[in-house]
Structure formats: C-alpha cells, structure tokens
Amino acid sequence: MAGEMILRIKNLHVSIEDTEILRGVDLEIKAGEVHALMGRNGSGKSTLANVLMGHPAYDITDGTIEFLGEDLTEMEPWERARAGLFLSFQYPQAVPGLQVGNFLRKSVQAIRGDNAPGAKDFRAELNAAMEELDVDRQFLGRYVNDGFSGGEKKRFEILQLLLNKPRLAVLDETDSGLDIDALQTVSKGINASATDVTGCLIITHYQRILDHVKPSHVHILIDGKFVKSGGADLAMQVEERGYEWLSPDTN
C-alpha cells in the first residue's frame, strides 16, 4: 500500500579491499515514491546498488539495511530477488546460447514463484510489455545481450522489470548512452512499472531522465555521503550548477 516502508538504510558504511566507499548513508524509500540518486563518478552510487543486491566484493562494516521489514544483509542475492528487489545493471552481461524468450519465462517463474502466471497469461504480459517498449517479436529469439546495442540492453533490463514486478527497482544509470528516442521509450517503461505499492531508486549522473520520470525525492552523494536531499528542483540545480557547490570542502 502507498506509504509502506520498503527500504530503510541506517548509517551504512561499506568498504572494498579496506577502502571505505560509503560513509554513513541513511535512506528511506516508501511505496509510491521515486528517488533519484545523483553524484559524480566514484561517489559511491553504484556501490550502493551492488550492496543492496548482495555483491560479495563489498563489506558492510557498519549500519543496517531493512527491506520490507527484514534484514536484507542476511539474504542471498537470489533471495533478495525473490523478496521483490530488482537491479538494472549498468553493464549487463551477454549470455550466448540463452534465448531471451526462455530467459524471461524462467526468470518470471523463479522470481514470482507461486504468483507466476501460467503460459497464456505470461504471453499476454510479455506482449504488453514488449509493446510498451517498442520491442520486436524477433527479439525473443536472440541470445541474452549478445550483440545488443546499448539501447537494446537497456530496453531488455526494463522488459525484465515490467515482467518481474518487483517491490523496489534499483536502476543503475539506465539512461547512460541512450539517444533521446531510446530514453523516452525506457522512461515510459519505468513509469509503467510504478504503482502505489512499489518504490524506485534511479541512479544517474544527469537530470535528463528526470524530465521523463518525475522523482519525489532527490539525493546528492559525494565522497560516500549524502550531502543534500530535496525534491525534483534539486536535480535542476545540479544540472545548472554542477556538483562543486555541494562539496563539503566548499561549504
């Protein structure tokens, strides 16, 4: 329901190979909210996404992460996906030999479990999602991300989002490398996935995707810390002024 707490992060500290990357992050995302996370390269944005999904290279040295009231850090990555967490990868990997259609059917069965649709309903959902994203039927016969253009990879990520129906979508630079037409199509899919029982965290460098997917909250991450949070107007300020004025060293 709208307003339900989906994600609660408190005082999160994360390191990799003894180098601290996140330094006390606090974040709450409720159902019906769209949060945008912005920052320079190397600020820790993708680290946060990877930690949420359980990447083994990162060490949580302090803090807590709760997802729908449960300790997320105790879950394996596949358990997080089954619980309703979705990560759209910044650099999706190719899987030669695995057809897109088979992958989508199996992933929906694995993630939605007892709530997965039967064959007829799955085809209906698949057709609707492909139409939403302007994806040709021949796409289903191709191998996962094998020879895909940048725009095709991002469409495929959002196609999975629409079919898996997660409670929280974490979209790691889904807008990177997209021309304006592809950006509009991908944004349409993101908007189609948003409901009053879901949350969304959009990780981006730029304001342009936020012209199409309107955030309720915007956060600025610099050197592993949130330095400012606000509404959609904060993204516009960053677009106009850059990040320097938000750096702790200049305040």
- Work out the average pLDDT over 7-34: 97
pLDDT score at 1: 62
pLDDT score at 61: 97
pLDDT tier at 206 (50, 70, 90 boundaries)? confident
The answer for residues whose C-beta is within 8 angstroms of residue 125's C-beta and 6 or more apart is 117, 162, 163
Residue at 121 is within a domain: yes
Q: For residue 77, give the nearest of 69, 67, 64 by alpha carbon.
A: 67
Give per-residue burial for 107-124: e unless 16+ CB within 10 Å, then b: ebeebbeeebbeeeebee
Give me the helices (H) in the chain, please. Answer: 45-53, 77-83, 100-112, 119-132, 150-164, 180-193, 232-241
Residue at 68 is within a domain: no
Residue at 209 is within a domain: yes
Residue at 233 is within a domain: yes
Give me the helices (H) in 87-149, please. Answer: 100-112, 119-132
Q: What's the number of domains the chain is made of? A: 1
Q: Is the pLDDT of residue 248 over 80?
A: no
Rounded to whole angstroms, the Cα distance separating 161 from 158 reads: 5
- Work out the average pLDDT over 31-53: 96
Q: Is the pLDDT of residue 172 over 90?
A: yes
Host domain of residue 127? 31-52+74-250
Q: Is the pLDDT of residue 251 over 80?
A: no
* Model pTM score: 0.94
User: What are residue 47's phi and psi, to 5 degrees?
Assistant: -60, -45
Q: Is 172 within 8 Å of 146 (Cβ atoms)?
A: no
Residue at 198 is within a domain: yes
Residue at 86 is within a domain: yes
- Work out the average pLDDT over 13-20: 95
pLDDT tier at 177 (50, 70, 90 boundaries)? confident
Residue at 200 is within a domain: yes
Residue at 14 is within a domain: no
Helix (H, G, I), strand (E, B) or coil at 112: helix
Rounded to whole angstroms, the Cα distance separating 13 from 5 reads: 21
- Determine whether 191 is exposed, middle or buried from the number of CB atoms within 10 Å of its CB (0-12, 13-18, 19+): middle
**78 to each of 82, 107, 242, how far by Cα in Å?**
6, 11, 37
Distance of CA 27 to the CA centre of its chain: 15
pLDDT score at 60: 98
Rounded to whole angstroms, the Cα distance separating 108 from 214 reads: 27
- Assign residue 209 the CATH number of its domain: 3.40.50.300
Helix (H, G, I), strand (E, B) or coil at 221: strand
